[in-house]
Amino acid sequence: LDQFYWAHRVAQLGVGPRGLPVQLVTADLLADRLDDALSNPRYRQRASEIGRAVRARNGAAAAVERLEGLVAQAAGAYGVAR
């Protein structure tokens, strides 16, 4: 079921064409959408912009910090010493 969500997000973020309901998909229409996704410079530009924003957040370090906090919180709740 998540494919519908991600198709919507791709279009919403401007990194690919709008998704299609499965009942409307034909080989020709799918080929056209794939061609658009691979050749449209707007999608590449938007993906590049999003990539820069993601890298600037330093997500790996933030994830580690959050996980360490959750582990410490859980350890405290169970009376486990660090």
Segment 1-57, tens digit of pLDDT:
788 899 999 999 999 999 888 899 999 999 999 999 999 999 999 999 999 998 888
pTM for this predicted structure: 0.66
Segment 48-77, tens digit of pLDDT:
999 999 888 888 899 999 999 999 999 888
Distance CA(66)–CA(49), nearest Å, equals 26
Q: Give the distance between the most distant pair of CA atoms in the chain.
A: 62
SS (H, E, C) 33-71: HHHHHHHCHHHHHHHHHHHHHHHHCCHHHHHHHHHHHHH
